[in-house]
Amino acid sequence: MAHTGSPRVEAASRSCSLSAGLAVLGDKWALLLLREALAGATKFSDFRDALGIAPDVLTSRLTRLVDAGLMTRESYREPGQRARDRYRLTDAGSDSLVALIALKQWADVNVQHGDDPYVEFRSDEGRPVTVRFTDDRGRTLRPDQVHAEHTPTRRAAADAGADVQSPS
């Protein structure tokens, strides 16, 4: 995420949960690694084989997820083998499931894809799972009933002259 160098712009970016979330999850590999971890992958070879990702890129992206607190790294040794790392989701990593389901749900409708999905999200009973909007009273809302509002923090930053456009 690029910043203009202005302290006010950087403060505005830090206070935005969406911007902070994109800094962690905005990379294609991060989302795909989380998808594979949610599907049970734990070993380097599990991720490499599922994604066809170059080992150096995989190492870098797994390290980023560990550093961001979405995964833990623990050593293990199979008999007769050298020590290797196993990766497990943290609570924060498991919580990313909401973002992954929402993104998949959106892509299923709005992005061309094949008829045979790579992954489906299901309940323990095997039922399809979807993400829905609800208000603080538990009322289900359609997307056209939801809008974004700038918070007092964003308005104050704009009033102070900060360029609070989305970071690029």
Residue type, 125: E
pTM summary value? 0.77
In tens, the pLDDT along 104-129 reads: 999 888 887 777 677 889 999 999 99
34 and 49 part of one domain: yes
pLDDT in tens, 49-65: 999 999 999 999 999 99
Residues 73 and 125 in one domain: no
Assigned domain for 15 exists: no
Whether residue 101 lies inside any domain: the answer is: yes
Identify whether residues 103 and 82 lie together within a single domain.
no
In-domain check, residue 86:
yes
Q: What pLDDT, in 10s, does the model give residues 61-93?
A: 999 999 999 999 999 998 999 999 999 999 999
Residue 144 within any structural domain of the chain: yes
Half-sphere exposure of 83 (CA within 13 A, CB side): 4
CATH of the domain at 84: 1.10.10.10
| Number of folded domains that form the chain | 2
* Residue 65 and residue 103 in one domain: no
Residue 104 domain boundaries: 96-148
pLDDT at residue 117, rounded to an integer: 74
CB 89 within 8 A of CB 37: yes
11 part of a folded domain: no
